[in-house]
Structure 1
């Protein structure tokens, strides 16, 4: 089993947390979307959208986060021999879908300083053009990716797009806060795949230095956040890269790579 992912990517974090919680062995492939590695022809042939994560088990390839997590659950179920015990129930799946409905892209990009965001966006567009030249057989897919990059920049100028993204997030967080007032975890007293889906959302807010605004003012969520950070899966998947000084190291390494490749015109 192979997972193509990156520590920066929120959906990748969800899948990796599921793999860690279920104790599933897999081969890890880092594909950094900020440096355009998700646009390399080999990966693009596997997934023309260029999105992460991608889970491959033999000839079976999955792209959608919830589909991957449910597939991981089935693998864990078969491995344990305890049929029906490890698979998420309806309430858990409903939470998973509710969380996945919030797209973090525009919210995240709107909180990145313009000079860095614009520089990175320009770099990615140049990578797309370079890959299009190298792999003309994939020109159609690369054209779609290039158009998507331009559309993203246009949408970021629309205050309604950003407002809707923030409102959706606030609605989700308020719903979680109410649920955590009666249960220890999202779908009851036990940790489930719903929590696996939600932890990266909180981690993203902390990464953007928005913890006080979105987490601290919600006491149940704040207590929950402190609790889930103690799980070994969190420490391996997220804490390893973003806790304390590690956050600056992780981001600086990627930014230096983008700068050097831009200066050398190595797209």
Structure 2
């Protein structure tokens, strides 16, 4: 089993936490979306959406995080003989969490000079790959159009407001639930938690913990508990805990600056 992912990708974090919690072995391949590696021709031929993660088990390839996680749950049943692991309550939380798109929220809270620098670099990567693979030009053009549409969406304040309201509603409901249970669905860590924890990690990475987490005591206690789990330490803490986030981000920015300087896209 192979997983193409990257620490920056929230969906990748969701899938990796689920894999680690289930103790399923897999081969890890990093594909950095900020440097355009997800646009490389061999990867793009497999996955024209260019989104991460991508899970491959033999000839079986799955692209969407929620589909991968459900596959992992079924795989765990066959490997470990567990009972049906996904209850209706778990699925309710999974679907609710999956309905919030973090992209606009994330980009809005990144300083413009860094966001625009990366966006320009990615657009140049896409154009370069169109030249490399003319047979994929139409699909690459779709990604180029999406990049411009994203920039347009960032200019609309109502788009951000709706995203923030949806996030706050999700966190408020989680705060209520965590007043009654240790984890989102009872006393055991479930798929719902695998999906939810990366949202808290993203909020922390953007230095918005005070606004969204610290003001919710039950979520604060829950997050402190989760950060002690081996799965969190391996998937998120290794890259973003404390000073590590600066090291992780700095490596990518240095790579982008050097590539831009020499026009290597």
State the TM-score, normalizing by the size of structure 1: 0.98
Whole-angstrom CA distance in 1 between matches of 2:81 and 2:209: 41
5+ residue gaps, structure 2, are none
1:204 CA drift (Å): 0.2
**3-state secondary structure, aligned to 1:56:** strand
- 1:172 corresponds to: 170
Deviation at 1:75, TM superposition (A): 1.1
User: SS in structure 1 opposite 2:184?
Assistant: coil
Structure 1 residues 45-84: aligned runs within 5 Å: 45-82=45-82, 84=83
> 1:13 aligned to 2:10?
no
SS in 2 for 1:216: coil
Q: Distance in 1 between matches of 2:258 and 2:249?
A: 14
Partner of 2:28: 28
Residue of structure 2 in register with 1:109 after alignment: 107
Pair 1:231-2:256 in alignment: no
In the alignment, the residues of structure 2 paired with residue 14 and residue 210 of structure 1 have an alpha-carbon distance, to the nearest angstrom, of 20
- 1:121-167 superposed Cα distances (whole Å, 9 cap, x missing partner): 00000000000000111111100000000000010001111111111
Corresponding residue for 1:146? Answer: 144
Superposed structure 1 runs of 4+ greater than 6 Å apart: none
Which residue is 1:196 aligned to? 194
Q: How many residues align?
A: 265
Partner of 2:250: 252
Q: Distance in 1 between matches of 2:142 and 2:126?
A: 10
Rounded Cα–Cα distance in structure 2 between residues aligned with 1:3 and 1:148: 25
What are structure 1's unaligned runs of at least 5 residues?
none
RMSD: 0.7
Per the alignment, in what secondary structure is the counterpart of residue 55 of structure 1?
A: strand
Cα drift, residue 188 of structure 1: 1.1
How many angstroms apart in 2 are the aligned matches of 1:151 and 1:26? 35
Q: Give the TM-score, by structure 2 length.
A: 0.99
Question: Whole-Å Cα distance in 2 between the matches of residues 31 and 211 of structure 1?
Answer: 27
